[in-house]
Amino acid sequence: MKEKIIWITGASSGIGEALAYQLNKNGNKLIVSARRKEALELVRLNCEFPEKVAILPLDLSDFDALPHIAEQAIAIHGKIDVLINNGGISQRSLIAETKFEVFKKMIDVNYLGTIQLTNALLPHFITEKQGHFVTVTSLMGKFGSPYRSGYCGAKHALHGFFDVLRMEHEKDNIDVTLICPGFIQTNVAKNALTADGSAQEKQDEATANGLPVATCAKRIIRAMDKKKFEAYIGGKEIFAIYLKRIVPKLLHSVVLKSAVR
């Protein structure tokens, strides 16, 4: 993955930030996006080649603005080779206690915003007869876990949409890679929404003991290079994928007995 023009959303922290550092080091030109311009500027300055990094703030829940932002992104270098859909937000609350607005935000940010941005860039990829959508979902896009109902729903939806996009646009030389991280050492748990919509503001043990984010980024880039359909990244939690396929009732019991929150 070298000498490409790569647009990364959710690039101000976590997996997106780690991807920016690694992809920049490899010699790619980057466009980094997130809501906070100041945080993006810090990421740019921390890159090995900051002159190859452009900043383009966006809010995935501002659906009307996203097509215009996609036009701006294309105009920066005249084309885009890869869009990494990494922006999103998690949840930690029981279904019965969660306000509808929290579920709506999960769908708006994690699903609809990603779809709107993808649709806005799709005509460019079709015209160029090449392009690569890399969408960071989650292992929660393949199976469920308590306290993450809205998050799981949105991530499952991404899999359905992007599997079809891959089928419909293979003829246009457009690739789709779905990245499914497990527990990664990021602030995803701290920023997760609770039942009333406020941030959890505390780390959980599984995330704190997860895979280092730099290691995760390297594995994502390897999957991008190989143009994999799906890549599962994490520790022993990835085996839940196979339990879900083969013995779903066993996975149900295992998850219920776990201490994950």
Strand ranges across the sheet with 29-33: 53-55, 29-33, 5-9, 82-85, 131-136, 174-181, 230-233
Among the residues of the chain, which ranges form H helices? Answer: 14-25, 37-46, 66-77, 100-105, 113-128, 149-169, 188-191, 205-208, 213-225, 240-246, 248-257
Residue 251 CB neighbour total at 10 angstroms: 19
Say how far apart CA 214 and CA 135 lie, in whole Å.
18
The catalytic position among 21, 111, 147, 151 is: 151
First to last CA, the chain: 35
Rounded distance, CA 140 to CA 159, Å?
11
- Distance, CA of 197 to CA of 242 (rounded, Å): 33
Token readout for 1 is 């993955």
Distance CA 24, CA 48 (A): 7
For the question of residue 147 being annotated catalytic, the response is no
Judge contact between 106 and 194, C-beta under 8 A: no
DSSP output for 157-206: HHHHHHHHHHHHHGGGTEEEEEEEE-SBSSSHHHH-B-TTS-B--S--HH
The answer to whether residues 141 and 241 touch, using CB atoms and an 8 Å cutoff, is: no
Query: Which residues are known to be catalytic?
Result: 151
